[in-house]
Amino acid sequence: MAELNPVQKVKERFPERIIELWEKSPKRIYITVGKEDAKDMVSYLFEDLGARFIIMSALDTRPGIEILYHFSFDTLSKIVSIRTLVPMPFPEIESISLIIPGAEYIEREIYDILGVNFRNHPNLKRFILGDDWPEGEYPLRREHKGQFPYRTEEEQELYREEIRSKWEK
């Protein structure tokens, strides 16, 4: 289908914007780009090169939150991952959900668990955490101890009342 290797095409299209290109094996390619260039790169891969969007993954590292966009070229057996770093303490990046509707829910999930704010997301609401989970606690950040925030007996009772009144409405 594609005569030229997609990696070559990406190199030609964005010669200055690629920070690092690592071919781990012929089937696994990692491209590091700046935070502002990630959206252009994603739209080029998805719309022009016809790659299939697999998923995003996010990881809290020392310098900031690392986001990877995984794409698959099924006919060529290549998985291309775009890597970008979103600096702390206020991680923010442009949303890709308007280009790829399939990315809507994973962006909401990353917003929940790592607190990355996706600009221009159509519906950036809480998705996987419970509605009683406190604001500003992100369970997959490094500083989080993996415990549900503690409630005293009275607070727990108040919380139950609140849920009950919601249901009785």
Partner 1 sequence: MGEMRTTIPIGPYHPLLEEPELFRVVVEGERVVDIDWRTSWNHRGIEKIAESKTYDQVTFLVERICGICSTSHPIAFCNAVEDLANIDIPERARYIRSIIAELERIHSHLLWFGLAGHYIGYHTVWMWVWRYRELVCELFEKISGNRQSYAMIKVGGTRQDIKEEDYSYILKTMDELEPKMNMFIGAVLDDPVILARLKGVGKLSKEDAIKRCVVGPVARSAGVDIDTRRDYPYAAYDRVNWKVITQEDGDVLAMAVVRLLEILESIKIIRQCVEKMPQGPIEVEVPEIPPGEGIGVEEAPRGENFHYVRSDGTNCPARLKIRAPSYVNIPSFRSRFIGERVADIIIILASVDPCYCCTNRMVKVDDGAGERTLTDKDLLKLSWEETERIKNKFRGCKRSKLLE
Question: What is the C-alpha to C-alpha distance for residues 49 and 43, in angstroms, rounded to an integer?
Answer: 9
Nearer to partner 1, 18 or 76 (CB): 76
Residues 6+ apart with CB under 8 A from 65: 58, 59, 85, 86, 88, 91, 114, 116
Residues in the chain, overall count: 169
Q: How far is the CB of 157 from partner 1 (least distance, A)?
A: 20
Instruction: Specify the DSSP element, H or E, that contains 12.
Output: helix 6-13
Q: How far is the CB of 136 from partner 1 (least distance, A)?
A: 18
Q: How far is the CB of 17 from partner 1 (least distance, A)?
A: 22
Nearer to partner 1, 36 or 128 (CB): 128
Between strands 78-87 and 28-33, the pairing is: parallel
Question: What is the C-alpha to C-alpha distance for residues 126 and 110, in angstroms, rounded to an integer?
Answer: 10
Say if residues 136 and 55 touch (Cβ distance below 8 Å).
Answer: no
Nearer to partner 1, 75 or 152 (CB): 75
Residues in touch with partner 1 (CB under 8 A): 24-25, 27-28, 30, 52-55, 57-59, 68, 70, 72, 74-75, 77, 79, 81, 100-106, 109, 127-131, 139-140, 146, 166, 169
Q: How far is the CB of 125 from partner 1 (least distance, A)?
A: 9
Nearer to partner 1, 25 or 152 (CB): 25
